[in-house]
Amino acid sequence: MAVEGLSFEVNAGEILGLVGPNGAGKTTTLRSLVGIITPTRGELAVGGYNITQESINAKRLLAYVPDDPKLFDSLTIWEHLQFIASTYRIRDFSEPATRLLERFELLEKRDTIAQELSRGMRQKVAICCAYLHDPKVILFDEPLTGLDPRGIRTAKDSITENARSGAAVIISSHLLSLVEDLCTHYLILSRGKMLFFGRKEDAQAQYAGTGDSASLEEIFFRATEG
């Protein structure tokens, strides 16, 4: 069983940090939520829409940035944004697309094909594509992979801003410092089962050692290793 007995919710404006050891079921959880993997039982809803029964309505609301984004090698950066705009039926996408490329320092590379991009640039393209249709639910699997320091700052700021604008965000990452900096809630998985779900403050209090608030690193090891 990859994931069993898992139940949680993320509301508008919240950022959930999904953490756990390798093989805990984090990526499986994200892929199930976006409709890539069909759950064997249970109910998954995005914006009130069942992801298996009302998949189109649900997917209109969400964006997913996987840990290794698969771009179209022969398309340019701008053509990727054109494709996303067409898929989500976005009118007049040029202005918001240009703003995204400027913010993520990709504007000068807009006519470069994906095959010629570095790992970090490919990650930035995937994030820009995810943001283009103004999603209300955003899921990230290791969002900072390959990014330079400026890219990391920009990505972190953009995640916070999207949450403040009312998006529900999930971040799966082994970078505990990232999760601790950005997230309002934690979900800790191990071997497909939930060890903790709740507010950041509640986790700090529950796993506190000597009265001081516990860091996420302390919370992680106490939860997963007893």
Question: Do the Cβ atoms of 199 and 169 come closer than 8 Å?
Answer: no
158 — alpha (psi -120 to 50), left (phi > 0) or beta?
alpha
Residue by residue, DSSP assigns 100-168 as HHHHTT-GGGTTSBGGGS-HHHHHHHHHHHHHTT--SEEEEESTTTT--HHHHHHHHHHHHHHHHTT-E
Residue 166 and residue 79: Cα distance in Å, rounded? 28
pLDDT at residue 226, as a whole number: 73
pLDDT tens track for 90-136: 989 999 999 999 999 999 999 999 999 999 999 999 999 999 999 99
Question: Do the Cβ atoms of 106 and 71 come closer than 8 Å?
Answer: no
pLDDT at 210 over 60: no
Confidence band of 213 (pLDDT split at 50, 70, 90): confident
**More confident site: 207 or 78:** 78
pLDDT tens track for 65-75: 999 999 999 99
Paired tokens of 46: 């995005």
Each domain of the chain, given as residue ranges in start order, spans 15-70+135-225
pLDDT at residue 65, as a whole number: 97
Cα angle 83, 37, 23 (rounded to 5 degrees) comes to 115
Residue 99 and residue 106: Cα distance in Å, rounded? 10
Is the pTM higher than 0.85? Answer: yes
Over residues 128-147, mean pLDDT: 97
pLDDT at residue 211, as a whole number: 53
According to CATH, the superfamily of the domain at 15-70+135-225 is P-loop containing nucleotide triphosphate hydrolases (3.40.50.300)
Strands 168-172 and 15-19: parallel
pLDDT at 31 over 60: yes
Terminal Cα-to-Cα distance of the chain (whole angstroms): 22
Residue 65 and residue 212: Cα distance in Å, rounded? 35
Paired tokens of 187: 């979900």
